Chain A
């Protein structure tokens, strides 16, 4: 042993094997408990077995493997200070992070993210984008471009494609009016118009140099569905 061990209290004898077996049993309970809880519809069982047991396991490791139980008291205080500071941080910001509205404020982005997330059974999308109030209904099964347009695009672009949707009223620049010939004659979409419209629906306005208020919706549609959406939007185009 080196001379650095002089402060160490060697008087403790831990049954490491016993602690290890206890940890393994607790581990099995922490896996089995939530499985049973989920099947029987007992969320409290999941919470207790997953997180309650995690705390017990952590205590066993910290006290017996890290030997904190036999460590000088000052070290316990230093560690306790870290834990307290962490909880202070969490307690301080939790009202803002966990709530999405208060008396004088509303976190629209978070609310929309929740709605969009719930709508997407497939599960992954960007945590950005604008109006998505009615996005719940877009699922691959029973897809119809007209229905999807009515539930998502019409909020801003209007049911008849005239750019007069309720959610679009306050936007600057205003949502595109698909019934306006001037819109289709804009140089950014005159060449290969089909491709341009598809790009905007999939990747958002900035993808072709148009407004960033047009969010990317690619995550909601398959390639075939995107083509159908393009057909539907093009159906608003007036004959020159």
Chain B
């Protein structure tokens, strides 16, 4: 880099590169956001046996396919990181592209699923189970959308061989989004 970088991006008091430190901070705050939401859901779920009936209307197979899609996208994200570490920008960009494709597939399946549910009358105001369902899955979907958009910018840079360290950073975020879904899946789809 010919020009000077801002101090915040080069200094590292913890020994962790600043961008990675920052993404871990984001993950730590997200743990409380999603953890709090899911914790409250779980408590209500245990206190309200009647939710079992509502929960039985969620479509387990669509949730399962989406779990597979996200796991696979996490795999391509970590392969992108591996490629970036070896300096292979084009390879990293291609793998990030696959990850974005995974994100889009996830969102399409999610839309199809919600369309069916809303058409059947299970809307966000139908009862508290459905409120939690749409809030938790919706907040997660927003994270998928945000991640996919940012990944698009990083992939373009990576393709030109620039800012390859960012591939790892977006990867950490993406794996977190995957981890959230790993817990959402049994909570919303499996536990009937």
Contact = CB atoms under 8 A, between A and B. Distances in A.
Contact of B71 (A27, A82, A120): A27
A200 to B, nearest CB: 21
A6 B1 CA distance: 15
A24 B74 CA distance: 12
B17 A8 contact: yes
Given A1-B164, A97-B44, A117-B50, A23 B71 contact: yes
Interface of A: 1-8, 10, 16-17, 20, 23-24, 27, 30-31, 34, 38, 46, 50-51, 54, 57-58, 61-62, 64-67, 71-72, 74-75, 78-79, 81-83, 85-87, 89-90, 93-94, 97-100, 110, 113-114, 116-118, 120-121, 123-127
Contacts of B54: 117, 123-124
B78 to A, nearest CB: 5
Contacts of A62: 175, 179
30 contacts: A1-B165, A2-B163, A2-B165, A4-B18, A5-B17, A7-B12, A7-B15, A8-B20, A50-B190, A51-B186, A54-B185, A57-B182, A61-B179, A65-B74, A65-B77, A65-B171, A67-B172, A72-B14, A72-B16, A78-B25, A83-B31, A86-B35, A86-B36, A93-B43, A98-B47, A113-B50, A116-B50, A117-B53, A123-B57, A124-B126
A124 B130 CA distance: 9
The dominant DSSP class at the A interface is helix
Contact of A79 (B31, B48, B82, B126): B31
Contacts of B179: 58, 61-62
Given A23-B71, A34-B190, A75 B16 contact: yes
A166 B68 CA distance: 55
A65 B17 contact: no
Nearest to A8: B17
Given A61-B182, A110-B47, A123-B57, A4 B10 contact: yes
Interface string B21-58: 10011011101100110011011101111110110010
B127 A79 contact: no
Question: What 7 pairs across the A-B complex have the smallest Cβ distances?
Answer: A117-B50, A86-B35, A50-B186, A90-B39, A124-B126, A82-B31, A97-B43
Contacts of A74: 14, 16
B101 interface: no
Q: Which of B17, B29, B171 has its CB near the most chain A CB atoms (within 10 A)?
A: B17
A46 B190 CA distance: 8
A67 B168 CA distance: 10
Nearest to B183: A54
Contact of A7 (B16, B24, B182): B16
A4 B35 contact: no
A78 B40 CA distance: 22
B190 to A, nearest CB: 4
Contacts of B57: 123
Contact of A5 (B47, B125, B165, B192): B165
A101 B143 CA distance: 38
Contacts of B152: none
Contacts of A51: 186, 191
Contacts of A86: 31-32, 35-36, 39
A114 B125 CA distance: 17
Contact of A30 (B19, B29, B51, B186): B186
A94 B39 CA distance: 9
B119 to A, nearest CB: 13
Nearest to A37: B190
